[in-house]
């Protein structure tokens, strides 16, 4: 935990917090835009359109996809700063000379990336959906009625999106270390986003199961990525 606190002090956390706040604002703006689109297209009237995006599940899918996309890139940027930049840059010799086990140092960096990204992603989706529901009630805009235990669905999707975005940062960090480039890590995250965000958007009716499967795949891939990073760092020479 001491190493974790040191990593938080080392980075300029306020910069990333402002970026996370900007992403949350974008989520709210996008959600409000779709609420008004639903109303203008007659989704709320007697002849309501029953397409996926005329429902709360559709809104949740769009919000989760956008949150995953943005926070995955933010996670990759943070991982590139903490892992790729330090282990592949000019500070590598100094970092490896610390009287701390290399694995413990790497674990602290990975924990910083995962905890920050997952917390911001969960908070962003929950706050966005809560605000949209309140706005819909105030403005009289009502997409299709909520189905089942919807708050639990929102919380589950938020948690799964947090896992996915945080693990995407670790996968990107491994790719960046392999290429010895921060930009490679960010490009890797963009490729992951392009491949996975579309799957979330087109599956609003089964969003929890789809995201659960993707979170499992991301977790397994991130595990192999961490093993690669650990092996690479253990064999680095001062």
Query: What pLDDT was estimated at residue 146?
Result: 54
- Domain boundary assignment for the chain: 2-234
pLDDT surpasses 80 at 192: yes
Q: Helix H segments across 80-206?
A: 85-87, 92-96, 102-139, 150-179, 182-201
Mean pLDDT of the 189-208 span: 88
What does residue 115 show for φ and ψ, rounded to 5 degrees? -65, -45
Mean pLDDT of the 221-234 span: 89
Nearest to 83 by CA among 234, 221, 237, 233: 233
The per-residue pLDDT for range 146-172, each reduced to its tens digit, is 555 778 889 999 999 999 999 999 999
Q: What is the mean pLDDT of the chain?
A: 82
Query: What pLDDT was estimated at residue 105?
Result: 82
Q: What is the DSSP string of 25-38?
A: HHHHHHHHHHHHHH
Distance (Å, whole) CA 76 – CA 99: 27
Query: What pLDDT was estimated at residue 89?
Result: 66
The per-residue pLDDT for range 104-120, each reduced to its tens digit, is 888 888 888 999 999 99
Q: Which of 18-22, 203-207, 231-235 shows the highest mean pLDDT? A: 18-22
Alpha-carbon torsion angle 19, 25, 27, 29, nearest 10: -150
Distance (Å, whole) CA 84 – CA 175: 9
The per-residue pLDDT for range 39-97, each reduced to its tens digit, is 555 444 444 444 555 677 888 888 999 999 999 999 999 998 888 887 776 666 666 67
pLDDT surpasses 90 at 132: no
> What's this model's pTM, rounded to 2 decimal places?
0.85
């Amino acid at each position: 935990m001491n190493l974790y606190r040191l990593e938080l002090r080392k980075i300029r956390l306020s910069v990333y917090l402002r970026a996370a706040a900007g992403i949350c604002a974008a989520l709210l703006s996008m959600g409000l835009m779709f609420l008004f689109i639903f109303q203008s297209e007659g989704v709320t009237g007697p002849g309501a359109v029953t397409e996926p995006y005329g429902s709360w599940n559709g809104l949740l899918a769009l919000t989760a996809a956008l949150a995953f996309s943005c926070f995955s890139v933010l996670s990759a940027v943070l991982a590139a700063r903490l892992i790729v930049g330090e282990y592949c840059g000019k500070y590598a010799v100094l970092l490896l000379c610390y009287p701390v086990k290399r694995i413990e140092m790497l674990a602290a960096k990975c924990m910083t990336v995962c905890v920050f990204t997952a917390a911001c992603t969960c908070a962003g989706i929950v706050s966005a959906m809560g605000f949209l529901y309140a706005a819909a009630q105030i403005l009289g805009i009502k997409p299709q009625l909520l189905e089942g235990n919807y708050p639990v669905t929102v919380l589950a999707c938020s948690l799964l999106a947090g896992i996915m975005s945080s693990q995407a940062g670790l996968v990107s960090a491994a790719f960046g270390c392999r290429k010895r480039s921060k930009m490679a890590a960010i490009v890797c995250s963009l490729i992951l986003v392009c491949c996975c965000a579309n799957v979330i958007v087109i599956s609003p009716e089964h969003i929890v199961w789809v995201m659960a499967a993707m979170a499992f795949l991301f977790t397994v891939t991130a595990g192999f990525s961490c093993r690669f990073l650990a092996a690479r760092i253990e064999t680095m020479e001062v």
